[in-house]
Structure 1
Amino acid sequence: MVRAAVLHGVGEPVRIEEIELFPTGPGQVRVKVAASGVCHSDLSLADGTLDQAFPVVLGHEGSGTVVEVGEGVTHVAQGDPVLLIWAPPCGECWFCEHAEPHLCVKAMDAARVPYARLADGTEVLPGLGTATFAEETVVPAAGVVKLPRGAALAEAALLGCAVTTGTGAVWNTARVAAGSSTAVIGLGGVGLSAVQGARVADASVIIAVDPDPDKRKLALALGATDALEPAPDLGKRVRALTGGRGVDHAFECVGRAATIRTAWGLTRRGGMTTVVGVGGKDDKAEFSALELFHFARTLTGCVYGSTDPARDVPRLLEHVAAGRVDLGALVTARIGLDGVNDAFAAMREGRGARSLVVPASA
């Protein structure tokens, strides 16, 4: 039996309960969780913005140590430090074969299959196929990537989603070129990672936008050239910093129609607006036919930073080792399993960058 933060329904608080993991089967890996970031996608699953069946153990941004491997698993062994990948590509579907593994049609297969049971025998689902709000989890072999020994294992958890998504939005989706001007709206873990990604890409202007002064201050420390509070004259201030044009690239890291429109409005004619945040299906962003023609902007969605784990995790590890990407600076709270509800509350209120769940501290 292991302790886990179990969610039984939309809008309910998670409850710390003991669950029994199913035996590690062929092609599976059992992992002792070192740490898990609390991501906005977890909150979206908890509050019903994204569909989720129950009961479920959420958490998908995790790292840990291999406890056991199933038959046929050869790329990791017991004792290896690993990063958990919540959307492992199958390598065989049309999207994988066409160099779009972040859109793999089988990436969410594990999320639909129970992986544990409660004390009363009720089967439990793994949130996003990963279930890292727990002391241990069992995942598909493709869902773990071996980490270098000696890596800061707890902070490495953020590579599982926030950092890959934020930097990937800049490097893979938008392909920001050196000298470009950028704006990032929303300075949670993903937005602050996008700021770092823009700095690594050698963007000349990096404008960070958030109502929280602490987050704006952190963004400046991580490479933003300017940090602005949302206000009616935001567009005017951004244009003043970009030769009157607006930014080449705007990144929306909130997931709301209103901020998508804001990002669009900050983008220059011919520029690119990238929607990174996960929004609700009923929150509609509207654009007139005339403005789509006139501004000649590109509006694109971004899933998981257009990430290919095999390519991007090693690249990120190199940037982390060289000090170009700072993982520790993103962590504004370290909590035990019993702190997940408070972390969700902080996220709803826009406080903090990333809460890091360390199950052993609970």
Structure 2
Amino acid sequence: MSISVRGAVIESVGGRWEVEDLELAEPGPGEVRIRVMASGLCHSDDHLVTGDIPNVLPFLGGHEGAGIIDSVGPGVTRVQVGDHVATAYLPACGHCRWCSQGMQYICDSGAGMENGFGLAGNPRFTRRSGAPLGAMQRLGTFANYLVTDESQAVKIDDDLPFDVACLVSCGVATGWGAAVNAAHVRPRDTALVVGVGGVGINAVQGAHHAGAAHVVAVDPVAFKRDEALKLGASHAFASIAEAMPFIHSVTNGQGADSAVITVGVVDGALIAETFSAVRKEGRVALVSIGQNEPGIPISPLELVVYAKTLRGVLFGNCNPTNDIPALLDYYKAGLLKLDELITARYSIDRVNEAYADMHAGRNLRGVLIHEH
């Protein structure tokens, strides 16, 4: 039997989030229903609004979630009713070519994600008109309840605050992993982080944790630079150009050892500028989404002769089933700051205000607190 829930839906590119009542199906085989307690307001959901991520619309937003297992379908073995969980950004099957090599972040189960329906291809949410509705990452944490595959529910400790735990579902893991797993920041390195919002601030934390001697944060917003200095950056500048004299002063003119790009929307010129900011054998990890045109003006000669690396990063190249609990263990041990990331908390009815605050640079991270 379906239940009635409230969620925020984007109807078309350029529109506003509209909060409406929806019908949520009962969990089917291998599925669980989660009472969502908190959801991070991630920039990835905003990409649906701006059109930077092409997607089937209308769509229910939200993929950074934490809550309680409310009901389980037949055959569920990973979690049980009452478990506290964080959501995983995609289901990890555990046996495809990628999962078997420890790369859950590109599991084949991600195919068809743009429709937002369940793994079996069936919609979990329905509008009051009877029209099926897809959900972000097959989750939809902008609703106060959701149904998803059990592989997208990662059990967490019961004593963890939901507003903190939800952040590790995407933004924290993506930023931290970009520095540690993709850029391979090492002890003594000079690491450059370009863009220190909800994802980049955690690349700063990851680079600091990895032992970088210099963590250089770049962001045009003074508030974000100040927060970066509190959360592990050694230096902060408004632009790459302003940062380069310092970087050259501590690297014998060579450039940064590695760089992570985590701006809200990227273009080829910024990628090229960051690429030129790293040394021979330097590594650039690109997290940000952008358009294909007009391309990336990188010199093939610079790429080859200096043996540099430019790579894309998805979910920080993390494995949700392992890395979400691991990052929360770091938090409990005092090695990862999460409470400090939350600038403001919002009700579902203030979701558009929350994204306006994000665009204005007023938030490191906003969190949606659901009512039940």
1:295 aligns with 2:306: yes
Q: Is the 8 A contact 1:115 1:125 kept in 2?
A: yes
Structure 1 residues 186-335: aligned runs within 5 Å: 186-230=195-239, 232-254=241-263, 255-257=265-267, 258-282=269-293, 284-335=295-346
**Larger displacement relative to structure 2 (280-289 or 292-301):** 280-289
SS at 1:243 equivalent: coil
Q: Deviations over 1:153-198 (max 9, x none)?
A: 2111000001111111122222222121101010111100011111
Q: Distance in 2 between matches of 1:339 and 1:108?
A: 32
Matched, 1:131 2:140: yes
Shift of 1:203: 1.0
For the pair 1:143 / 2:152, whether they are aligned, the reply is yes
State how far apart, in whole Å, the 1-side matches of 2:133 and 2:151 are. Answer: 21
Would you say 1:44 and 2:53 are equivalent positions?
A: no
Q: Indicate how the Cα distance of structure 1 residues 168 and 54 shifts in structure 2: closer, same or farther if over 3 A, else same.
A: same
CA offset digits 1:265-295 (Å, max 9, x no partner): 2211221111111222335222122222233
- Please give the secondary structure, in 2, of the residue aligned with 1:17: strand
In structure 1, what is the Cα distance between the partners aligned to 2:222 and 2:242? 18
2:371 corresponds to 1:360: yes
Q: 2:12 aligns with which of 9, 13, 32?
A: 9
**Aligned-residue offset at 1:111:** 5.3
Task: Please state whether the residue corresponding to 2:254 is helix, strand or coil.
Answer: coil
Residues 82-134 of structure 1: CA deviation (Å, up to 9, x unaligned) = 00001222122222223322111212546532211111111111111110011
Match of 2:120 in 1: none
Task: Tell me the CA shift for residue 25 of structure 1.
Answer: 0.7
Instruction: Give me the TM-score of the superposition, normalised by structure 1.
Output: 0.95
The one-letter code sitting in structure 1 at the alignment partner of 2:205 is: Q
Which residue of 2 is the match for residue 75 of structure 1? 78
Aligned twin of 2:182: 173
Q: Which residue of 2 aligns with 1:345?
A: 356
Unaligned runs of 5+ in 1: none
SS at match of 1:310: helix
Q: Which residue of 2 aligns with 1:88?
A: 91
Output the CA distance in 1 between the equivalents of 2:246 and 2:184: 25
Measure, in 2, the Cα distance between the counterparts of 1:283 and 1:84. 36
Relative to structure 2, which stretch is displaced further, 223-232 or 301-310? Answer: 223-232
On the 8 A contact 1:49/1:281 being kept in 2, the answer is no
Are the counterparts in 2 of residues 36 and 358 from structure 1 also a CA contact under 8 Å? yes
CA contact (8 A) 1:108 1:128 kept: no
Letter in 1 for 2:59: V
CA 1:26–1:231 in 2, change beyond 3 Å: closer, same or farther?
Answer: closer
- Aligned residue for 1:324, secondary structure, equals coil
**In 1, Cα distance between equivalents of 2:301 and 2:319:** 36
Structure 1 residues 279, 350: CA separation in 2 closer, same or farther (over 3 Å shift)? farther
Please state whether the residue corresponding to 2:291 is helix, strand or coil: coil
Compared CA separation, residues 234 and 283, structure 1 to 2 (3 A): farther
DSSP 3-state at the match of 2:327: helix
Alpha carbons 2:38, 2:367 under 8 Å: kept = yes
Alpha-carbon distance between aligned partners in 1 of 2:45 and 2:312, rounded to the nearest angstrom? 19
Q: Which residue of 1 aligns with 2:104?
A: 101
Figure out how many residues of one structure are paired with residues of the other and give that number: 361
Q: Is the 8 A contact 1:102 1:306 kept in 2?
A: yes
C-alpha contact (below 8 Å) 1:271/1:297 kept by paired residues: yes
Q: Evaluate the alpha carbon distance shift between residue 83 and residue 250 of structure 1 in structure 2; reply closer, same or farther with a 3 A threshold.
A: same
Amino acid at match of 1:10: V
RMSD: 1.6
For 1:355 and 1:215, the matched residues in 2 are separated by 14
Alignment deviations for residues 32-68 of structure 1 (CA, whole Å, 9 cap, x no partner): 1111111111111222111211221111111111110
Q: In structure 1, what is the Cα distance between the partners aligned to 2:126 and 2:282?
A: 50
Matches of 2:339 and 2:213, distance apart in 1: 25
On the 8 A contact 1:108/1:129 being kept in 2, the answer is no
- Offset of residue 346 of structure 1: 2.8
